[in-house]
Structure 1
């Protein structure tokens, strides 16, 4: 065997637990991105050997059913559905997934109840959760979660406060009971290998797939990714701790600047007695209502919310999903090969 085939074999061994858990050829999940992670992108990722994930978001059970059926018409390979635990119809959404034999249900956006985890597993699907800290990861495993995603603050969309570099060091050495997938700021295969070697079972990527050929995102949305640098993907700023702002990472634009003005004006009106605290908070929270759709579907990338992770700086062209995944694998293999050469250099 030559050095490259040895390196391929090593990569396969490193992420085999992730491949086995997902039922995929490569242990790469697509991040669940509202308006983006739908039938076309999800099926493309699964067909290319990865693991696509439908972003249910605020969908009704009927709408989710339609999306699952449409995805199954485009791929015979496994894919997952990401459900938000705060959704008022969560139980019905789980039941829709189970009725259509979805293999994996990813419970995101909060801590799922033991009853929901049990409902997923009793229905024959695998239950996946998110762990932003070691203590919560251990708790979720005790509750019956079968795999975890640890997502660093480098990710796009709603983010926690800790980088993946730190999360991986905090969690991977101490939680070996279930497969753990790393996420946040990942855009290259060599970076994925570094986490596999720390004990991760695979990786979740979003930003790079949002700008793929199969993504239904508007051309303006994709082109804004091509122009952006890592530093352009910033989290939303909170002006006053009395009025919390959920941190969301996206590209800085006219909308983000207007949001700061809107906060300042709302706080001024509250202080002058023109608004009560509840109305002021709602005014701040509602500023971005519909703005993700405005950017992704309508292409208004100046006023909409252009959610993107810091890996956006590595998106240099709009490529097919199959090419993106093949590229990640090649980079991973090359990294292992180079490492072996460094170690065994005479």
Structure 2
């Protein structure tokens, strides 16, 4: 391939990423997926320092704990980064205020339809608001409510997932939402895919699984080894046993913990049937299973009974690498894909 074609590929990639890069204030329109226990100060700072946009996963943190993590992240990077807040958090507005007090530029609201007062407080405080849209109708509603950008995440992703693949969501949503930048997520592990979605109209991409085995990730070595050994078909979605308990499916690597989750559901359903728990309390217990199981895997290294939340792109994770190296691989692959297009057009 000629130097001209190669240079054209990088220039084309920069052009396609321009809207997303400008929105985040980053070199690349590559957003780090917020993964509880994984996306903490070290990984987030490394992603931002490598030209992407790191996002802290606040999970079940309390406001002051979040403040500490934001300040610790800022000590590691002078680049912009964001914070992911769970919409069901009982202190959501306080968490938003902490972000504003700490001059966080972008707040990502995840885990359900964001309350209007949370969006309003964030925007009035000067932050950009990013929300997840699992369907076109909801995407339009969120745009009307004033959100500044959207993420559409396919069922190929890790953790809590929706029912529709990214290949379908991108076709449904990208042609119709142009008022705000739309970032795509779910199953993305190589630069060629990034380039393809950019050409479809995405402003950028979000990657989580690809960064789990970064050198800067604090995930336990056992957790990383499980990712490196896994293939795409090992990342399976959990099954809902009873329609009375609309449990959001979780994609994770198949292990004993997946089977234990099924048993947990059965035990809780039996307790509800006996009148020991009401439906709401039963569902909350089912959801609490994942929080503890994920910590056991990521922090303690229990890869047998812990939750190995992973997207189907896990099969493309082959080794532990520095974030900067991962980022450069993705950019080179994307630019190479676009360069080949140029050569093909000339031929």
- C-alpha deviations, 1:148-206, integer Å up to 9, x for none? 11100100011111100000000000110011110000000100111100100000000
Out of 333, 336, 340, the residue aligned to residue 334 of structure 1 is 336
Question: What residue is the counterpart of 1:245 in the other structure?
Answer: 247
Quick one: distance in 2 between partners of 1:276 and 1:121? 40
Tell me the distance in 2 between the aligned counterparts of 1:141 and 1:283.
33
Equivalent of 1:76 in 68, 75, 78: 78
Query: Displacement, 1:277?
Result: 5.2
* Residue segments in structure 1 that go unaligned for 5+ positions in a row: none
Is residue 114–residue 144 contact of structure 1 (8 Å, CA) maintained in 2? no
Q: Who is 1:185 aligned against?
A: 187
> Relative to 1, partners in 2 of residues 1:287 and 1:78: Cα closer, same or farther, differing over 3 Å?
closer
- Contact 2:139–2:150 under 8 Å retained in 1: yes
Partner of 1:74, secondary structure, is: coil
- Residue 247 of structure 2 contacts residue 283 of structure 2 at CA under 8 Å; is this kept in 1? no
Partner of 1:119: 121
TM-score of the two chains, using structure 2 as the length reference: 0.95
- Report if aligned partners of 1:35, 1:55 keep a CA contact under 8 Å in 2: yes
RMSD: 1.6
User: Distance between the aligned counterparts of 2:77 and 2:181, measured in 1?
Assistant: 24
Say how many residue pairs are matched: 344
- Distance apart, 1:100 and its partner CA: 1.0
Q: Within 5 Å, give how 1:124-273 maps onto structure 2.
A: 124-267=126-269, 273=274
Deviation at 1:264, TM superposition (A): 3.7
Shift of 1:270: 5.6
After TM superposition, the score normalised by the length of structure 1 is 0.95
CA contact (8 A) 2:34 2:57 kept: yes
Alpha-carbon separation, structure 1, partners of 2:203 and 2:295: 33
Q: Which moved more, 1:242-251 or 1:37-46?
A: 242-251
Q: 1:276 to 1:102 in 2, by over 3 A?
A: closer
Kindly report structure 1 stretches of 4+ aligned residues shifted beyond 4 Å: 265-271, 274-277, 279-283
1:316 is the counterpart of 2:303:
no
Moved more, 283-292 or 219-228: 283-292
5+ long unaligned stretches in structure 2: none
Give the structure 1 partner of residue 301 of structure 2: 299
